[in-house]
Chains A and B, each alone.
Chain A
Amino acid sequence: MKFIPLIWAMLWRKKVRTSLTLLSILIAFLLFGMLQGVNSAFKQTIERSNVNRLVVTNKISITESLPYAYMSQIETIPGVQRVSHESWFGPYYQDPKNFIAAFPVEPEREFPAHPEYIVPKDQLTALEHTRDGAIIGAGLAKKYGWKIGDRIPLHSTIWVKAADGNSDWDFTIVGIYEDPNERSREDAMFFNYKYFDEARSFAKGKVGWYIVQVKDPSQSAQIAQEIDRRFANSPDETKTQTEKEFQQSFMKQIGDINLIVTYILFAVFFALLFAVGSTVMQAVREQVPELAVLKTLGFSDTRMLVLVLVQSLTLCVVAALLGLGLADLLFPMLRNTLGVVNMPATVIAEGVLMAALLAVATGIVPAWRAKRLVIVEALRS
C-alpha cells in the first residue's frame, strides 16, 4: 500500500506520454466494450430463450404457413402443455423505416405460453374483448409515445384487407407489456388473430408458426420428433426446434458476427500491444537511474519486478475501466439500429481480464530488465 504514491509518481513521470497511452488503451477498450457487448448481448438473448418452448415451422421455410387445424393435433401429443401460434404481419408506422414487429395471436394462448411478458390482467381481458385491440411492448410505447386508448394505423407490407383491398389496418392500444429480464424484447406488438384472419383477403385459416410449451423440458427432443413425425408426408411438413435452436439458426443466417468481432478486436489489440509495449519500455529505460537508487536502498530484485509490473497493470486496468465505462454509457444508443439494450456485465469482467493480460504481456520484458539491473552500471549511465 505504501508504494502507491511511488507508483503513481513513476507513472506520471512524463505526463503527455502517459496521458496519450492512457487514451490509446481507453479507446481500445471502448471498442472492446461496444463490439464484444453487442456480440454477447445477442448470445445472451439466445441463452435466455425459454427451454420449455418449441417452435414449429413449415419444413420448407418459415415464410410458408401452416394450417390452423394443426393446433388441435399438436395439443393431443403427450407432454404438450399448451400451444400458441404467431404469424408475420410485417407492418410499418407511417414510413417504411418505422418497421414494427407485430404478430396476430390468440391472447388466451399467447400470454400464458410466454409467462415472461408481464401484462395487467384487466388489459389482457380488454384485448380479448376488443376486436382491433393490441398490446404493445413498453419499449415500443416509449419510442412512439403511444399510450392506452390510442388508435394507431399500421400499413402491412403483406396483408390486404378483403373488404376494401386496402393494406392499412387500424388498432386500438389496450395494454402495455413488460419483460423486465430482457428489455430488448419489449419492442413487439400482439393483436387478435380473429380480427386478422377475418379481415385478410388470402391465406385464411393459416398461421405462421406454432409455439409449443412442453411440460418437461428434458422431453422436448422427443416431443419435437413426435410433432414432425405426425405431419410427415402431409402437404405441410413441419420442422420443430427448441426456441434456442430457432433463434440460433436465425442469427447464423445473418452472418458470423462473432467472427467479425473477433477479427476486429484482434487487430485492435495487436496494435495496442505495440503502442503500450513501446511506452512501458521507454518509461523503464528513462527510469533506470531511479530504479538503481531504489535498488541501492535495499529493494529486492523481486520487488523491482513487481514495481514495474504494477505500473503497467495500473495503467492498463485504469484505462480499461474508463473505456468500458464509456462503452456502457454509449451502449443504449445502439437500441434503434441493433436492438440491444444493455451491455452485459460479463463484458466488463472479460475486459478487465484482457487488460491484465495486456499489462503482463507489455510489462514483463521491462520488468525483467529492472529486476536484472546491475546497480553500478546503472548508476554510471
Chain B
Amino acid sequence: MIKQIVAVTSMNLRSLPQRIGTAWVIVIGIAVTVAVLVSVLAMAAGFQQTLKGTARADRAIVLRAGSQAELESTIDRQNAQTIMDAPGVRKDEAGRPIASAEVVVIVALPQKKDGSDANVTLRGVGPNAMKLRPELHLVAGRMFRPAVRELIVGKSAAAQFKGLDLGSKIAFRDSEWTVVGIFDSHGDAHESELQGDAETVQSAYRRNGYQSVTAMLDSAAAFDRFKGALTTDPTLKVDVRREADYYAAQSTNLSKLLNLLAYFVGGIMALGACSGALNTMYTAVSTRTLEIATLRAIGFSGTPIVISVLVESLLLAIVGSVIGSAAAWLFFNGNTVNTLGAGFSQVVFHLTVTASLLVSGVFVACTIGMLGGLLPAIRAARLPIATALRAS
C-alpha cells in the first residue's frame, strides 16, 4: 500500500510541470490570500505590541473615576499628592515616591507624509518620571530643564511628524518650545509623544490640575493595597488600574476592527482561493484521466490516487503560503504607521509579522489546499475505469 502511494504520488508530482499553467492559479490565489491576511493581522499585532509594551506589571495608573482615557480625566493638585503618598508606592533613595502626576494635552502637528495636522500627545511629567520609566532613555541631546520651555521627543514621533528634529522650535500657546532631546522607549506608546516638565506645561496651558498619576509600586502584588487605599479614601474619586489593563483597553477597539477586517476579508478571499483550487484540481484530475484509469486497470487501489491528488494540492498550497508570507514580510514587516488611538491622539507603531502569524498563514493555506483537493481526489478515485479508458 505505502509503496503504491509513493509510486503514484511521485509519478504525479513528476508530471506536475506539464500542468504548470493551471497550477499557478492555486499558488497565486493562496499567496494573495495569505499575504493580505498576514499583513492586516501584522498591523493589529504591531499596534497591540506597542500598547502592551508600554505596561509594566508593577506600575499603576490612576484616573478620575469614569474616565476611559487620560485626556478625559482631571485630578487636582491635592489629590495627586495624596495618590503619590499612598501606601504601596515605591520610594527612591531620598524617600520621595517614584511616581509622576502628569498633564496630558494635545498639540496639532503636521504629518510628514501628507502635511495634514495630527493630534500629538504632549505629556508634562513630574520630577521623578525618569525613575518611574527606566525604559525611557535619551538617544540624542539632553533632558529638558524644569521651568524652561524645553521638550524631549519620542523617536517615533520625531520620525512621523514635521518639525521635531533636535534643536527645532515648536510654536504654540504664545511661546516657543525647543526640542532638546530625542528619546527611545523600546517602541512603546510613549515614543509617539512629546514630554516636558509638568509645571511648565501647566503654566503654558494655564491649567492647575493633572490628568493622571502613574506610580511605581513596591511590587506587582502591592497593587491591591495601593488600590484599596485610594478607593477607600473619601477625598478621592478615582479609578486605579494596572498599566497592563489600561493599555489593553486602549488597544481593544482598533485591534477588534483590524481583526474583523483581517478575518472578514481574509475569509472571503480564502473562499475565492478555494474555488480556484477546486477548479485547478478538477482540471488536473481530468487531464490525468487516462493515467488514473490505467493505474486502476492494472490493480492500483483508489487510496493512493486520492492521496496523490491531495499531496499535489497541499504542495501547491504550501508553495503559495510561502510566497504570500514572504511578500507580507518583505513589503510590510517593520513598516511604520500612525493612527488615532483610543485617547484621541496619535499612536505610532510598526507592522509586526510574528512567527505565529506565519504559522496561521500556513494553516489557512493548508486548509484551502485540502478543501480544494478533496472533491477532485474523490472524483479521481471513483472514475469508472472502462469509460475513462474508452473516452480518450
Indicate if A17 sits at the interface (CB-CB under 8 A).
yes
CB–CB A158/B32 < 8 A: no
Indicate if B309 sits at the interface (CB-CB under 8 A).
no
CB distance from A285 to the nearest CB of B (A): 10
Q: Which of A316-343 contact B (CB under 8 A)?
A: 337
Among B100-108, B188-196, B214-222, B381-389, the stretch that binds chain A is B100-108
A59 and B174 CA atoms in complex are apart in Å by: 11
A156 and B69 CA atoms in complex are apart in Å by: 12
Residue numbers in B under 8 Å from A235 (CB-CB): 173-174, 206
Q: Given A17-B279, A235-B174, answer yes or no on A157-B340 (Cβ-Cβ < 8 Å).
A: no
Q: Given A255-B339, A278-B21, A282-B22, answer yes or no on A270-B206 (Cβ-Cβ < 8 Å).
A: no
Residue numbers in B under 8 Å from A181 (CB-CB): none
The count of residues in chain A whose C-beta lies closer than 8 Å to any C-beta of chain B is 51
CB–CB B119/A63 < 8 A: yes
Indicate if A61 sits at the interface (CB-CB under 8 A).
yes
Residue numbers in B under 8 Å from A282 (CB-CB): 22, 283
CB–CB B28/A271 < 8 A: yes
A56 and B267 CA atoms in complex are apart in Å by: 44
Indicate if B10 sits at the interface (CB-CB under 8 A).
no
CB distance from A329 to the nearest CB of B (A): 14
Residue numbers in B under 8 Å from A101 (CB-CB): none
CB distance from B306 to the nearest CB of A (A): 18
CB–CB A61/B283 < 8 A: no
CB closest residue in chain A, given B120: A61
Our pick among A28, A158, A167, A270 for the contact of B28 (Cβ within 8 Å) is A270
Residue numbers in A under 8 Å from B107 (CB-CB): 60-61
Residue numbers in A under 8 Å from B279 (CB-CB): 16-17, 20-21, 24, 275, 278-279
Q: Given A60-B106, A63-B105, A282-B22, answer yes or no on A20-B36 (Cβ-Cβ < 8 Å).
A: no
What 0/1 readout, one digit per residue, does chain A (86-100) give for beta carbons within 8 Å of chain B?
000010000010000
CB distance from A246 to the nearest CB of B (A): 10
CB closest residue in chain A, given B64: A160
CB–CB B32/A24 < 8 A: no
Our pick among B71, B74, B173 for the contact of A202 (Cβ within 8 Å) is B74
Residue numbers in A under 8 Å from B67 (CB-CB): 157-158
CB–CB B111/A252 < 8 A: yes
Q: Given A20-B278, A249-B117, A275-B279, answer yes or no on A267-B32 (Cβ-Cβ < 8 Å).
A: yes
Residue numbers in A under 8 Å from B64 (CB-CB): 160
A17 and B31 CA atoms in complex are apart in Å by: 21
Residue numbers in A under 8 Å from B357 (CB-CB): none
CB–CB A249/B282 < 8 A: no
- A16-B282, A270-B32, A271-B33 given; name 19 further pairs at CB < 8 Å: A20-B276, A20-B282, A21-B275, A21-B279, A24-B275, A60-B108, A61-B105, A64-B106, A157-B67, A157-B72, A167-B65, A252-B111, A253-B117, A253-B118, A267-B36, A275-B29, A279-B279, A282-B283, A337-B260
B residues contacting A by CB (< 8 A) are 21-22, 24-25, 28-29, 31-33, 35-36, 40, 64-69, 71-72, 74, 105-108, 111, 113-114, 116-119, 172-174, 205-206, 237, 257, 260, 264-265, 268-269, 271-273, 275-276, 278-280, 282-283, 337-340, 344, 346
- Can you list 19 A-B pairs, Cβ within 8 angstroms, ordered by A? A20-B279, A27-B271, A27-B272, A28-B272, A31-B268, A35-B265, A59-B108, A61-B107, A62-B106, A63-B344, A64-B106, A157-B68, A157-B69, A235-B173, A252-B114, A255-B337, A255-B340, A267-B36, A282-B22
